[in-house]
Each structure stands twice: as C-alpha cells, then as structure tokens.
Amino acid sequence: MDSQIRLAAFTWLKDQIRIHGEVLPWSLLIKGFDFNGDQVHLVGAKGIWKPKMMQLPLSIITKFEGPYEDSFNKEGLLTYSYRGTAADIHHPDNAGLREVMHQAIPLIYFSGVAKGRYFVSFPVYIIHEDPSRLLFTVQVDQMRTVESSESWEETDETRFRRAYATTSAKVRLHQQFFRERVLTAYHHQCTLCRLRHPELLDAAHIIGDSEEMGDPIVQNGLSLCKIHHAAFDQNIIGITPDYQINIRTDILAEIDGPMLKHGIQELNNQKIILPIKKINWPDQGRLELRYQRFKDVG
C-alpha cells in the first residue's frame, strides 16, 4: 500500500508541476489527492509527514523562515534536521526517516521559497545520518529510477547521477527563491504593463547572475512578462537609472501589428511600476550599467 500511494503521489505531483510550475501552494499540497476513496495529504503540521494510511513517511518539508537550519553542505548535499533535540533521537518521526534510509525508499522534499509556497523535489533519498549533529543527509535522484523499479545500489553511476540531480535541484531552488522574492515585491505584476498572470511572469536580472554585481537580490530584479523580458534581454527596451522606459529608435520607427504598437512602442518615455517598499526598488547603479549596454546597441 505504501508503495502504491508513493507512486500515486509522484504522478499527481508531476501533473501539478506541469500546470503550476515547480513551486506549489500550501493549499494545494494540504488538500492532496484521492486514493481509493481516501484523501492523501502531502504535507501536514509536522516537517516529517506520514499520511495516516501509510506506515512510513511520504515527505519532508523545510518551511520558509522555519526553525531548522536545513541547507546544502559543502559537498552539495542537502542536510535535514532531526525533529526536536538530542532527547528526541528515537522519536517516531526520526525513526521513520531512519527506516526509509535503510530501505532506500524515495521521499518528496518541499522547500519553502516564500510564505505558503514550496519548491518540489522528488524522488529524494536519505543517504546518511549524523546523530552527533542531529542531521540526515538527503540526495535527489531522477524519476526514472522509481518508475522502472530500479533497485538501489551504491555504484559510481548512482553517485554521479544523484550528484548531478542534486546540483540541478539546488540551482533551480535558488532560481525560484529569486523569482518568488521579486514577484512578491512587485505584487505579481509586470513592471511595464501590469499583467498579473504569474505563469506569464519572470524575474528578470538587471545584471546577469553570472556577472559581477549579478547578485540574486530583489534590487537586481524586475518582474516582467515574458514578452517584455525577452525585449529587455535583447535591448529592445531600456530602463534608465531614474526608472524611465525607453524603446530602441529603430523599433519605434517600425510599423507592425497591434502588439508592437500597444505592447512596446507606447511604453516609450513612461515610468516603470515600482514596488511599494522603496527598499525593493531597482538598484540605480545596476540600471545605469545595463542602460549603457542598451545605448551601445541602439
């Protein structure tokens, strides 16, 4: 029964991610899905979560600004804190994670990236326990290993595959942290056109994340719809250090359809929509550097 519910949970999550993206709301996770007439909740009040009809845990969760210091260690692996203190080493929740580690049973990991919103990783495995530090070590794997009922063995191929999957999950998690913070600061609307559909919004970097000053902070971000993000990246749209929108001269001279006219050209010389909190306004120094590139192109 546990295996059937676990596989059903993975399948349900894949469907939700296709619809909503890799960050899912708490309200969706707490509601869960129907399994043979029973409602399976994917999260609950505890960080180590076991639905009532299961024998072993289904998921682990790190809450946004929660009490535990769950993080990636210097080896790039996720560390997950025990429930409670040293006195709780044999608590049923900790014992449950210990058992899934011994049986190499896959879990779901939810990491809070904003209030009530969680980045999803699965399957993940508990691969090590450090009782002296009250920590479990967690690694991400590929879904095909579960779908094919592949037996787990500690081989070079397994280690490389999981290291790659864990690194990829870490990168995507950090990207989602940045996206959620930027979109929240801009009240989930495009700073140029006010479009409010989150699935059509991106957190655009002013200075690229691979560059100096490309820090993943709100002040280096803009909430842009996908069309305006692409136009900003291609230097069709520039934003001055005093938050004025400028459209490249050759684009202003073009005659095309209504999207170009109303969606881009009419933005010329308007001001961007700034976050309510001034601390979240785009950094003017970064905008100046970026605007110089726009001028160099135009």
Q: How confident is the model at residue 170 (pLDDT cuts 50, 70, 90)?
A: confident
8-22, 71-85, 201-215, 270-284, range with the lowest pLDDT: 71-85
Give the residue-averaged pLDDT of 162-178: 89
Q: Can you give the pLDDT at residue 235?
A: 96
Element (H, E) at 183: helix 156-185
- Give the span between the Cα atoms of 93 and 102, in whole angstroms: 15
* pLDDT for 72 beyond 80: no
* pLDDT for 244 beyond 60: yes
pLDDT digits (tens, 9 = 90+) for 109-122: 999 998 899 999 99
Q: Can you give the pLDDT at residue 238?
A: 97
Q: What is the DSSP string of 37-105?
A: TEEE-S--SSSEE--TT-SS--EEEE-TT-SS--EE-TTS-EEEEPSS-GGGTT-HHHHHHHHHHHHT-
Q: Can you give the pLDDT at residue 68?
A: 57
78-87, 93-102, 130-139, range with the lowest pLDDT: 78-87
Which of these, 171, 260, 267, 275, lies nearest to 221 by C-alpha position? Answer: 275
12-21, 75-84, 88-97, range with the lowest pLDDT: 75-84
Q: How confident is the model at residue 66 (pLDDT cuts 50, 70, 90)?
A: low
- Give the span between the Cα atoms of 81 and 74, in whole angstroms: 16
Q: Specify the pTM.
A: 0.81
**Tokens, residue 150:** 């592949």
* pLDDT for 58 beyond 90: yes
Could you state, in order of their start, the residue ranges of all structural domains in the chain?
Answer: 2-182, 186-297
Q: Can you give the pLDDT at residue 286?
A: 97
Q: Can you give the pLDDT at residue 152?
A: 53
Q: Can you give the pLDDT at residue 157?
A: 78
**Tokens, residue 184:** 């929240």
Beta strands in the chain (DSSP E): 23-25, 33-35, 38-40, 48-49, 59-62, 71-72, 78-81, 107-114, 117-130, 135-140, 201-205, 221-225, 237-239, 245-247
Q: How confident is the model at residue 71 (pLDDT cuts 50, 70, 90)?
A: confident
Let me know: does 14 contact 168? Beta carbons within 8 Å: no
Give the residue-averaged pLDDT of 60-66: 82
Q: How confident is the model at residue 12 (pLDDT cuts 50, 70, 90)?
A: very high
Which amino acid type is present at position 49? W
Let me know: does 248 contact 238? Beta carbons within 8 Å: yes
Residue 278 has, within 13 A of its CA and on its CB side, a CA count of 0
Q: How confident is the model at residue 64 (pLDDT cuts 50, 70, 90)?
A: confident
Contacts 24+ apart (CB under 8 A), 257-262: 259/227
* pLDDT for 65 beyond 90: no
Give the Cβ contact number of residue 75 at 10 Å: 9
β 59-62/48-49 pair status: antiparallel
- Give the span between the Cα atoms of 167 and 175, in whole angstroms: 13
